[in-house]
A and B are shown apart, each in its own frame.
Chain A
Amino acid sequence: MMNTFVGNLGHLMAIVAFVTAIITAFSYYNYIKAPELEKASWKRFSRITFYIHAVASVGIAISLFEIIYNHRFEYFYAYSHSSKALPVHYMISSFWEGQEGAFILWIFWNVVLGIILIHTNKFWEGPVMVVFALVQAFLVSMILGVVIGDLKIGSSPFILLRDISEAPIFQINPEFIPQDGTGLNPLLQNIWMVIHPPTLFLGYASTLVPFAFLMGGLAMKRYSEWVRPALPWAIFSAMILGMGIIMGAYWAYVTLNFGGYWNWDPVENAVYVPWLIMVAAIHTMITYKKSSTALKTSIVLVIASFILVLYATFLVRSGVLGDSSVHSFTDLGLSGQLLIYMLFFLVIAIFLSVKEWKNIPTSDREASVYSREFWIFIGATTLGLMAFQVILPTSIPVYNAIVEGLGGISNMAPPADQVGFYTKFQLWFAVALALLTGVGQYFWWNKMDKHELKNSLVTPYIISMILAAVIITLGKVYDISYIVVVLAGAFTIVANGSILIKLIKAKTFKLAGGSLAHVGLGMILIGVMFSSGYSDTISINMSGMTYKKDWEDDLNKQNVLLWINKPLQMKDYEVIYRGRHKKVKGFPGYVKADLLESVDGINAAVALQDIDAKGKTYFSRGDTVSIVLEENSYFKVEYYQEDDLKFTLFPMSQPNPTMGLISSPDSKRYLSKDLYTHVSAINDYEDPEWKEDQFENSEPGGQFFMNDFVTNFEGTELISDPQELRDLSLQEGDVAIRAKLSIMDNDVKRLIEPMFLIRDNQVGKIAAIDSDLGIKVEIDNILPEEGKFVFKYNTYQKDYVVMKASVKPFINVLWLGTIIMLFGFCTAIYRRYDEFTKMRNKGLE
C-alpha cells in the first residue's frame, strides 16, 4: 500500500516552516520598532511564531526519517538513499546523504541555536532573531518543492518515485512500490559519516550567530557592543567547524581510497576557508575587547566567514564544480536559489557596513611593533592570505562559468597536482603562524620592550632548539624545509607550553584556551609534516617485470599484485594474500568466503563446513548465518618479518553496481606510525569467464597437471550422507561417488571434490569449483575396465588482489594535536561566555 500521508505531512510542515519563518522575521522587526508599551505583546507573538516554526522544522525531519526508517520506497528519497539491509545507524546517514536531508539538518541546527539565543539574550533577542528567521526562510525554501508556473522553488524530499521516474512500470501500475531501495553509498557506511555531517552542519549553522549579532549591532547602532555576546559563539563556531573538518579528514583517512586525510579537494577547501577566516575573526575580536583596535577588521572578517559558508554551499551544491571535484553533488536546480541566498546577505551586510562605516569607532594610535595588537594583526592577516590562496584556485570553475555565461571561452582548469600546489603555500604560511603564536603569546601576557622580549624568549628558544634537534635526529628529518617546520612546531609548543604552565601555576586555567590551542597547532604541524612528508609507500613493485617502454621505469608503481598464498617481498615485510573473507554476525574475526554459500534473503548464507574460532565451533555445517553486509569482502593479508607472522590486515572492498569498486583500507596502528593497506583492484570472483574444456585421465593414486598445479588423485569415496548432494538428495538405489583431488598451492593444501551420481542408468555430474585457484572440475566419465576416471576441467586464474601499502609515521601526533586544539577552544568558549553572562546579568546587555 502506498502511503502518501507522511509525504504530504512533511511537505505541509515545510510550507508551514517557510511561512512562519517570514512571519517571525516580520514580527521581530516590529518588536524592535514598536514603542515600549507594545513591545511585550510583539515579543510574545514573535516567540510563538518562532516556536511554531521550530515544531514544523522538527516535523519535516521526523517525516523524512519515518519514510526512511519504515522503508517506504514509494518515495524517491528512501528509494535512492536507503535499502532494507541497512542497520539503523546507517539509516541516519541515509537521511543526510541527499542534499535535501542536509538542508533539513542545517535548518534543525539553526532552530536549536535560535531557541538558545532567545533564552540567553535580553537586548539582542530582537535583532538577532530577525536575521535568524530570514536565514531560515531561505533555507526552508530549498526544500519547499513548490512550483509556480515555470518557477520551481526548492527540491522537496517528499516527492514520490512515480512522479520523477520515467520507468514504464508506473504507466502500467501507478501503485507500484519497489521491493528495495538502491542503498546508501558504501563510502558513507562508516560510523564517522554518522556524526561528521551533523557536526559540520552545526558548524555551518553557528557561523550565523556572530553574523547575526553583528548585523544587529550595525542596525541598532551599537557598533561595538555586539562583540561581547558574539565572541563565545565565534569561538564555538570555529571549534565545531574545526571538529567537523577533522572528523571528515579522519573519515577520509579510514575509509577513502585517496590514501590520505587531506586531499585539497574543492569540497574540503570549501570548509577550510571559512574556518580560517573565523579563526582570524576570533583573534581580532579578542584584540578589540582588550584594546579597542581592529573593530573594523573584525566586522569584515565576521561577514566574510558567514558569506564564505554560503559560498562553500554554493560551490558544492550548485554543480558548478562539475568534474573538478571527486565528490561534489549534482545540480538539483537549486543553483539560482543558492546564489540569491548568498547575494541577499552579502548585499545587506555590505549595505549596513558601508552606511555605518564612518560611525564605527577606530583607534588612531599606530600599533607599536612591541604591542600585542600588532602581532595579532599580522597573524590574522596571515590567516586571511591562507584563505585567499585556497579560495582563488578553488573558484576556477566559477570563473569559467562566469566567462562562459558572458559568451566567452575559458579553458582554465584547477592545478593538476593539487596537493603539491596548495602545500607549497599553506606549509610556509603555517610555519609563519606557528612562529607568530609563539611570540604573540608573550606579548599578550606581558608588557614588552626590546630588552624584555629578548630575555623572555631566550629560554623557550633554547628549549625548542633542543626539542627540535631531538625530533630531527630521531625522526631522521634531513629535508631542509621539513627541518624548518619542525623548528617552528617545536617553538610553538615550547613557547605556548611555558605560558600554559605559568597560567596553571597561577590557578587561572580558564585563561589558558589560547595557549592550549596553539600547542595543538604546533603538534598538528609536526604531525602533518611527518605523516605526509614521510609517508612511505612500501608496496613498490619489485617483481622485476618490465615493459617495452623505457620511461615506465621512472614511474613509481605503487601497487603490487598478490596472487593468493604466494609470498611477495615488500620492503621490510613479506606479505601473503590469503583469500577473501566475510564478516558474520556473532563470530569473532572473519570467515573465509568459500565456507559460505549465499542463499535467498538479505545478507543470509549457509555454512558449507563447520566454522570454528579459538577452539569453539560457532556454526555447524548447514547452519544459516547472517553476514554483515554481504557485498563487503575483506581481503586477508598477512605480514611477515623473518618468517614470523607480525600481523594480519583485512582491507575491505566492495564491487558496487553504481559506483564501481569501493575500498576501505585497514591499518596496523602503532603508537609511532600506521601501516596502511588499501585494495585497488580485485578479481572477478563470483562470475569468472571459464576457459575451454580440458580433459585428463587418471587412476586413483595418480598425478596430473591442472592449470599448472600438480594434482594428486588421492582416491574415491562413496557418499552416504544425503545432505552432501544438497538439492539432488540421495534416493534408494542411487550410487554417488566422490573423487578426492588435492593440490598443494604453496603452503596450503586445497581439496577439490567433484561428485558423480548414478541413478536409473542416468548420470549426474556435480562440479567442484575452487575459486581461490580458479579451477572447476567435473568427473566426466568413469572407465571401469581401465580403472580410470576422466576429469573435465576449466580454468580461470588464481584469486588475486592488487593493493597499495604505505607507512604513515607519527600520525597520532596530528590527531592528538587536534584534540588539544579543540580542548583549547572549549576553554576559551567557557571564559568568554562567562564574561558575557556577567555583563548581561548586570543589565548592560
Chain B
Amino acid sequence: MKKGHIIGLGIIGVAIMIIITSIGDASTYESFSTAKILATNGNDNAIHVVGELKKSEYGQVVGLEVHEDKTSFTFLMVDNNGDEQQVYYNEPVPADFARSEQVVVIGSFRNEELFVADKILMKCPSKYQETDVKSASL
C-alpha cells in the first residue's frame, strides 16, 4: 500500500470520528414531557426546550422566585406543547428576562419535579420589529 493511501485512510478515519462524535454530542430539542421520559430512563444529557414564561391573563409573568442571595432563581415555563414546568437557574435573573418573548432552556431534569437549566437563551422583542415609535413631541 502506498503512503498516500495510508494518509487518505487516516483522514477518512478522523473525519468519520468527528462526524460520529458530533452526532453523539449534538443535543436535541425536546418538550418537557419527552425530557422527563429521557431523565427517568437515566439519560441525563443536556437537552433544549423551547417555550415561554408563564403569564397571567394580564400578561404579567407569574411564578418567578428569586432566591435570597439573588444568585439563583426558579421560574415557571410553558413549552410549545403547553406543558408547564418549574425551572431552576443557577445565575442571577437576566434583567430583560420577564420581557422575553421566547426562552430556550438548555439543561435536564435533576429530579421529577425540577428542570435545571445550565444555560438560558432568550429572544427579546428585536429592534428590527419595533414599530411603536414614541410619539412624544414633534
Seen from chain A, the residues whose Cβ lies within 8 Å of a Cβ on chain B are 79-80, 161, 164-170, 173, 176-179, 182, 323-324, 326, 330, 332, 366-367, 369, 377-378, 381, 385, 388-389, 392-393, 396, 411-417, 421, 425, 541, 543, 545, 547, 549, 551-552, 555-561, 655-656, 658-661, 680-682, 800, 802
Q: Is the CB of B72 within 8 A of A557?
A: yes
Pick the residue among B28, B93, B133 that contacts A412 (CB under 8 A).
B28
Q: Is the CB of B26 within 8 A of A413?
A: yes
Give chain A residues whose Cβ lies under 8 Å from the Cβ of B48.
413, 416
Nearest chain B residue, comparing its CB with the CB of A411: B29
Complex Cα gap A103–B130 (Å):
22
Pick the residue among B71, B119, B130 that contacts A658 (CB under 8 A).
B130
Complex Cα gap A466–B105 (Å):
47
B125 to chain A, nearest CB (A): 7
B35 to chain A, nearest CB (A): 11
Complex Cα gap A393–B19 (Å):
9
Q: Is the CB of B18 within 8 A of A425?
A: yes
Give chain B residues whose Cβ lies under 8 Å from the Cβ of A557.
69, 71-72, 90
B7 to chain A, nearest CB (A): 7
Contact flags (1/0) for B106-138 with A, using CB distance below 8 Å? 110011001010110101111111111111111
Q: Is the CB of B11 within 8 A of A176?
A: no
Q: Is the CB of A658 within 8 A of B123?
A: no
Q: Is the CB of A660 within 8 A of B96?
A: yes
Complex Cα gap A378–B10 (Å):
11
A833 to chain B, nearest CB (A): 33
Complex Cα gap A330–B130 (Å):
13
Complex Cα gap A682–B70 (Å):
10
Q: Is the CB of B96 within 8 A of A659?
A: yes
Nearest chain A residue, comparing its CB with the CB of B102: A323
Q: Is the CB of B14 within 8 A of A560?
A: no
Pick the residue among B27, B99, B124 that contacts A414 (CB under 8 A).
B27
Are A658 and B127 also in contact (CB < 8 A) when A388-B18, A561-B70 are?
yes
Give chain A residues whose Cβ lies under 8 Å from the Cβ of B26.
393, 396, 412-415
Nearest chain A residue, comparing its CB with the CB of B100: A660
Q: How many residues of chain B get a CB closer than 8 Å to chain A's CBs? A: 64
Complex Cα gap A378–B8 (Å):
11
Complex Cα gap A638–B60 (Å):
38
Which B residues between 1 and 56 are near A, CB-CB below 8 angstroms? 2-4, 7, 11, 14-15, 18-19, 21-22, 25-30, 45-48, 50
Q: List 11 A-B contacts (CB under 8 A).
A: A330-B128, A381-B7, A411-B29, A412-B28, A416-B27, A416-B47, A416-B119, A549-B114, A556-B90, A680-B91, A681-B93
Q: A170-B133, A559-B91 are in contact. List 4 more A-B contacts (CB 8 A).
A: A369-B3, A412-B26, A415-B25, A660-B94
B89 to chain A, nearest CB (A): 10
B44 to chain A, nearest CB (A): 11
Q: Is the CB of B3 within 8 A of A660?
A: no
Closest 8 CB pairs of A and B: A660-B96, A661-B95, A416-B46, A681-B92, A660-B95, A167-B133, A169-B135, A413-B27
Q: Is the CB of B50 within 8 A of A323?
A: yes
Nearest chain B residue, comparing its CB with the CB of A653: B95
Nearest chain B residue, comparing its CB with the CB of A322: B123
Give chain A residues whose Cβ lies under 8 Å from the Cβ of B2.
366
Complex Cα gap A680–B115 (Å):
22
Q: Is the CB of A416 within 8 A of B45?
A: yes
A281 to chain B, nearest CB (A): 17
Pick the residue among B92, B110, B111, B129 that contacts A802 (CB under 8 A).
B92
